[in-house]
Amino acid sequence: MSELMNRQWLFANYPQGLYKPGDFEWRKEPVRALEDGEVLVHNILLSLDPTNRAWGFKHDTYLPMMQPGDVMRGICLGVIEDSRHPNYPPGTYVGGMTGWQEYAILRVDEDGRLPDAGVFPRDPSIPLSTYLGLFGHIGMTAYYGLLHIGKPRAGETVVVSAAAGATGSLVGQIAKIKGCRVVGIAGGPEKCKRLIDEFGFDAVVDYKNEPVAERLAEVCPDGIDVYYDNVGGDISNAALALINLHARVVLAGQIAMYNDERMQSPRNVMNLIMQRGRMEGFVVLDFMADEAASTQATMELAQWYKEGKIRFRTHIVDGLENAPTAVNMLFDGSNHGKLIVRISDDPGGPI
Ligand SMILES: NC(=O)c1ccc[n+]([C@@H]2O[C@H](COP(=O)([O-])OP(=O)(O)OC[C@H]3O[C@@H](n4cnc5c(N)ncnc54)[C@H](OP(=O)(O)O)[C@@H]3O)[C@@H](O)[C@H]2O)c1
């Protein structure tokens, strides 16, 4: 029988600016035999996230900094192919931090859990990629960031940056379900048209082709009650200038700053004082660690999805070998939906 080989990307260098091919190292090695209490996960889909760049910072973030030689950190969905633990039989679907690699060996801990991963029942009628985005960390980021931190009320104006992306498009659609007027900021006519036609936003600002401050003021004649910030920089500065009394600013991400840590925070934060506003950051892992909270969000998102109230786009790139270049699509905006790498095929249904 031929030896099972693993293919992996190792983190090699702390990047300067965008990731470059030399910041990773490609390794092929045999998969070792399992020991008692271990399972072998065959990764199927790898999520590429803007935070992958923050994980390359040479300091701790909300997770410890990576070290050169580590398997590149990454969120994957996969299936157990071999097992030496009775609670985790082959065929079980697993999602979690199993890294930029085809196979991961996980050791079940003393409480019977998999480290940084969980199992899920896979409905074969739903594409697996939906579990990675909508029913996974992206859906949870949009749901909890908007509803628990933004606390939108019907009739209020909600503005979302990086609105055509995975998180932003969901935030806008959930805000519409809650009866808000929703304005999206995105780059280019194609994405802006999609915000109106596909995701049901009320108005858009094309930050690549329009003066953001002027245009945002035009499309928000009643000011901004909730600003869901995925971007930071000048875009957030323009939004902060327009906030209403007791506005809520949700700090989900600062993608404009991930490749340039010297970039300054928006100067209009002073307006939070004038308007008695609140700005709050969050990390979705905190909500995901709470089983009851995760279940509630997933059930509600699944219900809206089934009822056709929310749509979710994925952008799938084939081949683990392409992950280091594909990750930069998040920073030039060439992804059109949740960016995912297909590592292998799914025996249980469509991707
Ligand atoms: N706090 C948390 O726990 C958490 C969890 C998940 C994600 N996030 C954050 O949510 C944000 C969106 O992540 P996502 O996974 O949903 O990715 P995404 O929105 O699907 O992709 C990123 C998008 O950001 C836009 N962008 C990139 N650089 C930009 C810049 N300099 N200025 C303005 N827009 C820029 C691009 O859209 P355009 O074509 O429109 O420029 C790009 O398509 C990120 O900031 C991420 O860090 C936070």
pLDDT digits 0-9 by tens, 81-126: 999 999 999 999 999 999 999 999 999 999 999 999 999 999 999 9
Return the pLDDT at 265.
73
Residues of the chain where predicted confidence (pLDDT) is lower than 50: none
Strand, coil or helix: 160: strand
Which residues does 332 contact at the CB level (< 8 Å), separation at least 6?
A: none
Return the pLDDT at 153.
98
Return the pLDDT at 213.
98
Query: 234: CA distance to ligand 1 center in Å?
Result: 15
Return the pLDDT at 67.
98
Return the pLDDT at 1.
53
The domains found in the chain, sorted by start residue, are 5-133+313-342 (3.90.180.10), 137-285 (3.40.50.720)
Residue closest via CA to ligand 1's atom 11 equals 230
Query: 230: CA distance to ligand 1 center in Å?
Result: 6
Query: 336: CA distance to ligand 1 center in Å?
Result: 11
CA-based angle 75:79:80, to the nearest 5? 115
According to DSSP, the residues that pair with 77 across neighbouring strands are 45, 95
Residue closest via CA to ligand 1's atom 34 equals 162
Query: 274: CA distance to ligand 1 center in Å?
Result: 28
Q: Is residue 19 within 8 Å of 327, Cβ to Cβ?
A: yes
pTM over the 0.95 mark: yes
Q: Is residue 77 within 8 Å of 128, Cβ to Cβ?
A: yes
CA-based angle 129:9:58, to the nearest 5? 100
- CA–CA separation, 33 and 227 (whole Å): 51
Ligand 1 contact, 187 CB (< 6 A): yes
